[in-house]
Amino acid sequence: MNEMLRGASRAVLFLLLFQGLGGDGSEFVGDGRDFGGDYSKLSGIIIPGFASTQLRAWSILDCPYSPLDFNPLDLVWLDTTKLLSAVNCWLKCILLDPYNQTDHPECKSRPDSGLSAITELDPGYITGPLSSVWKEWVKWCIEFGIEANAIIAVPYDWRLSPKMLEERDLYFHKLKLTFETALKLRGGPSIVFAHSLGNNVFRYFLEWLKLEIAPKHYFQWLDQHIHAYFAVGAPLLGAPDTIKATLSGSTFGLPISEGTARVMCNSFGSSLWMMPFSKYCRGDDVYWKHFSKGNGGVHHSYHCSEQEPQSNYSGWPTYIANIEVPLVHDSAGYDAYPSLSEVTHENLTSMECGLPTQLSFSALETSDGTFFKAIEDYDPDGKRLSYQLNRLYHSDPVLNPLTPWDRPPIKTVFCIYGTDLKTEVGYYFAPSGKPYPDNWIITDVIYEIEGSLFSRSGNLVDGDPGIASGDETVPYHSLSWCKSWLGPKVNITRAPQDLKVAPKAEHDGSDVQIDTNVEHNYGEDIIPNMTRSQRGKYITYYEDSESIPGKRTAVWELDKVNHRNIVRSPVLMRELWLQMLHDIHPNAKSSFVTKVKRGPLRDEDCYWDYGKARCAWPEYCEYRYVFGDVHLGQSCRIKNNSTDMLSHYL
């Protein structure tokens, strides 16, 4: 009963905060914020990442030699039981035709809908926690009293390219209607939370919207329907892991062979959506492309600045792909690689006659199709991938997504990602001597680790490493591109993450480093002049001190948080809640929540201090035993009367 009362009191507290600290719906304008109104009317819209939406069968498929068949609405992605017992049937339901992106004639799958489609991919006592994606996020919303109709999931078929998402499912029309329905239902704009590939989806939606709405109403529509955008783990310049998946397969931890995984990944048009590309090259303008075609012009995919030929590796730490192919002696050799002739001498390692030749490819050469053209004669997927790249991306009528992002035209943008984990940035491939799809093996991998490059064997590798490493999936170079969106002056703060690591430091601010009004040129990176202690993990905040007119931008870097688990990170969710609750408070004195102090928000944040024989954070936590507690820490709980705990963050 005490637990129910405690939870109810906390829910009431947060509901009152979302109603403007009075519940009367009165309008207010906080200092430094553009949206003024009843914040209880805000909605949250979640756009999940790659392979983060359940897919269900929309067919009846009899599986021979297996007691498990596929019936309408059965889980396809992900049902590990059927994957293990009827893998051939499962593949029929998951694979797409690589050329036209249609389903297998015997089985089709479609994305599920609602929050249940993105919380756990394979629900179950054992498989549920292992496949959990957004479940913890939704639990936080419930615990803090958010209404059921205020959180909206917009799942999509993550196998499809953006062009096919609209052609087959009218996904972007539906997404526009979702924003408009949320506004009509709740009376206010939405906060967008996108993870991984979901950020690419949202970017495409913003470009699609330009062609759907009259230009003079475009920004008005955005201001009316979108209050803020939280980009979490966004592969803003792509990810080299895509190249590995196309040549050797990515199993997602499933009990399938790499060859099977490769066939599966290469059938998905979306696999190329995260191809690494150069930050110095941009695609053709939509209207320019139509003009060019109308006048018989030649279509060029990219226009690069003078920095591209001057930079090493298209601005990335190293070459994305290095591949051994048989040495070609006849005239047909280099003609097969249209753009290779210009870089042959600097990219090829000459060998004796009959021995393999090593070709190296930069990010630009992977995204413009040079890489796939180079392997067409040695791999049957080369032509298929070249076709997909040209038809689904370079010729997209809305946007070539394999081009650098500009800051989204939304008033408030938060870009959040993990750093300082061992992340793959380059690969060495060689023929395996086996038939397709196992015809390539990875002979070496280049990793970035906290500002250095290492091979798989641990040897230091030459290149252009960044100041940090990525999140195990996306390199730092790609994640940190959003730092170029910051305003002309930036406040940088580095603070500890974990309440349990350095509580005293977080109390008095002794371990918080602040550098204010740092000069920043738009479009460039910004490097903090700060130190790190080896005893804990930190968050580094980059926040506009002087903003681009009408905009507010922030970048958060979380040490040692990996790509998949970032949406389940308690540290991230704590920071999100504090920032949002700071934004809705009428007495907030700054544009961003203070970083000097952090205290517990939930029972999970309280713990037992054995040195002082009491619960830590006594001003927030108290000892309150509840039947079933098995150790002292579990009995430390948030005080019921901690209604002023958020006042410290204004």
Residue type for position 172:
F
pLDDT band at 23 (very low <50, low <70, confident <90, very high): very low
pLDDT at 338 over 50: no
Mean pLDDT to the nearest integer, 430-451 = 92
Phi, psi (rounded to 5 degrees) for 609: -90, 100
Q: Could you please report the per-residue DSSP string of 248-309? A: T---TT-SS-HHHHHHHHHH-GGGGGG----TTEEEPPHHHHHHHHHTTPPP-SEEE-THHH
Instruction: State residue 534's pLDDT score.
Output: 74
* pTM of the entire predicted model: 0.87
pLDDT in tens, 51-94: 999 999 999 999 887 788 899 999 999 998 888 888 999 999 99
Instruction: State residue 309's pLDDT score.
Output: 87
> Do 408 and 203 meet the contact criterion of CB atoms below 8 Å apart?
yes
In 283-405, alpha helices (H):
286-294, 307-310, 332-335, 344-347, 363-367, 370-374, 381-388
CA neighbours closer than 13 Å in the CB half-sphere of residue 58: 10
pLDDT in tens, 526-538: 888 888 877 788 9
* Residue ranges of domains in the chain, CATH in brackets: 1-54+112-232+564-596 (3.40.50), 55-109 (no CATH), 241-257+309-406+417-474 (no CATH), 490-546 (no CATH), 604-650 (no CATH)
Instruction: State residue 580's pLDDT score.
Output: 82
Between CA 183 and CA 188 the distance in angstroms is 5
Mean pLDDT to the nearest integer, 223-235 = 95
pLDDT in tens, 450-485: 889 999 988 999 999 999 999 999 999 999 999 999
What rounded mean pLDDT belongs to the chain?
Answer: 83
Q: Is 643 helix (H, G, I), strand (E, B) or coil?
A: coil
pLDDT in tens, 576-594: 888 888 877 777 778 888 8
Ramachandran sector of residue 314 (left: φ over 0; alpha: ψ -120 to 50; beta: rest): left
pLDDT band at 444 (very low <50, low <70, confident <90, very high): very high
Chain centroid offset of residue 39 CA: 27
Instruction: State residue 641's pLDDT score.
Output: 59
Between 339 and 402, name the one with better pLDDT.
Answer: 402
Instruction: State residue 499's pLDDT score.
Output: 59
pLDDT in tens, 503-514: 443 334 567 899
> Do 199 and 234 meet the contact criterion of CB atoms below 8 Å apart?
yes
Among residues 252, 272, 262, 129, which one has the least CA distance to residue 197? 272
Residue type for position 236:
L
Instruction: State residue 127's pLDDT score.
Output: 80
